[in-house]
Amino acid sequence: MSEVAGRRHQISLPQWATLPVVVGGFIVMAWIIIGLTVPLWAPYDPTMLAGRRFVPPGAEHWLGTDALGRDVFTRTLYGVRHSLPIAAAVIASAVVIGCTLGAIAGFVGGIVDEAIMRLVDVTLSFPAILLAMAVTAALGPGLANAAIAMIIVWWPIYARLMRAQVLAVREREHVEAAIASGATPSRVLFKHILPLCWSPIIVNATMDFGQVILLAASLSFIGLGAVPPTPEWGQMISDGALHFYRWWIAAGPGIAILTIVLGFNFLGDGLRDYLDPRSP
């Protein structure tokens, strides 16, 4: 009896593949595939103005058409081609900048540490969306500037995380042994410290992916991100708010944001349980 149960256990999934990770991963993969392939099979052109305006959802237009007669369903699918690359670029830049500065702060210490960390403190003193709005407004509206603003908002989080990690790992015996045996500082940092610092960074980056997508959509909704006629979700919801009684215009992009952010949150939540079981 227990033999059978034991054997059944052997074909079970690897340990990280919990339900949230699988569901989240599936949603994210689906959106990535849509983003890559949508031009090949989309029923309409996302910026084509030809159709009738304000057509309610039906067989011809699954999610209806907007004020200019564009197909909402097509535009919703195309939206991921803006959201995902921008989120990826923002996260990647924030991780690189933040981790570099955080590692330097933690490893070098002294006045360098002070300077970097006070900059971090000040940046984190602002509500993220306000700072992003101010920076974007200063640089001028547009997706690229919104992305720069989001990098400015996001890097300190990684700097703080990385510094804490480096400080913790530094104290371990193998690092002290390496220093004692005369390894150069850069070798100690790259060979002995950094490889042990990544798991919280990865978990946070995954969770932040969803938050960056949300913030980018918010900026576009306000009118600081994507400019028309870009099929960007926040921009589309802003359109929908203008034509409030045509509910379908905002329905597609709203559900799109909800699902993709939920996907990343599931993924991050599950990864955290696996990589960093101590946190709540």
Partner 1 sequence: MLSYIARRLIAMPFLLLGVITVAFLLTHFTTADPLTSIIGERQMNNPAVVAAARERWGLDRSLPEQYVVYLKNLLSGDFGTSFRTRQPVAQDLLVRLPATLELVIAAMIIGTLFGIALGVIAARFQNRAPDNLARLVALFGSSIPVFWLGLVVLFIFSVQLGWLPGPGRIDSRMPAPPFVTGFYTIDTLLDGNWAAFRSVLAQMILPACVLGWTVTGIVSRMVRASMLDVLSQEYILAARAKGAGELRILLHHALRNAMLPTLTILGFSFAYLITGAILTETIFAWPGIGSYAVAAARGLDHPAIIGVTIVGGMAFLISNLVTDITYALVDPRVKIGARAAQ
Min dist. Cβ of residue 35 to partner 1 (A): 19
Q: Near partner 1 by CB under 8 A, which window of 59-67, 89-97, 194-202, 258-266?
A: 258-266
What is the C-alpha separation between 15 and 75, in angstroms, rounded? Answer: 38
Q: Does 161 bind partner 1 (CB under 8 A)?
A: no
Give every CB contact of residue 217 below 8 A, 6+ residues apart in sequence: 83, 225, 232, 233, 234, 237, 253, 257
Q: Which residue is listed with tokens 């103005």?
A: 49
Measured CA to CA, the distance from residue 78 to residue 70 in angstroms comes to 12
**Is 25 a residue that touches partner 1 (CB under 8 A)?**
no
Taking CB under 8 A as the rule, does residue 240 contact partner 1? yes
Check: CB of residue 213 under 8 Å from CB of residue 181.
Answer: no
In this chain, which stretch among 5-13, 91-99, 175-183, 261-269 interacts with partner 1, using CB under 8 A?
261-269
Minimum Å gap between C-beta 234 and partner 1 is 8
Kindly state whether residue 130 participates in binding partner 1, applying the rule CB under 8 A: yes
Among 94, 159, 222, 226, binds partner 1 (CB under 8 A): 222
Distance from CA of residue 70 to its chain's centroid?
28
Alpha-carbon distance of 186 to 31, in angstroms, equals 40
Among 13, 29, 115, 121, binds partner 1 (CB under 8 A): 121
Q: How far is CA 234 from CA 15, 231, 261, 275, 276, in A?
A: 37, 9, 13, 33, 33
Q: Return the CA Rg of the chain.
A: 23
Closest to partner 1 by CB, 137 vs 167, is 137
- Least distance in Å: CB of 76 to partner 1? 12
**164 part of the interface to partner 1, by CB under 8 A:** no
Report if residue 210 touches partner 1, rule: CB under 8 A.
yes
Position 256, amino acid: A
Looking at beta carbons only, is 17 or 241 nearer to partner 1? Answer: 241
Cβ atoms of 118 and 188 within 8 Å: the answer is no
| Interface contacts to partner 1, rule CB under 8 A | 118, 121-123, 125-131, 133-141, 210-211, 214, 217-218, 221-224, 234, 237, 240-241, 244-245, 247, 250, 253-254, 257-258, 261-262, 265-266, 269, 280
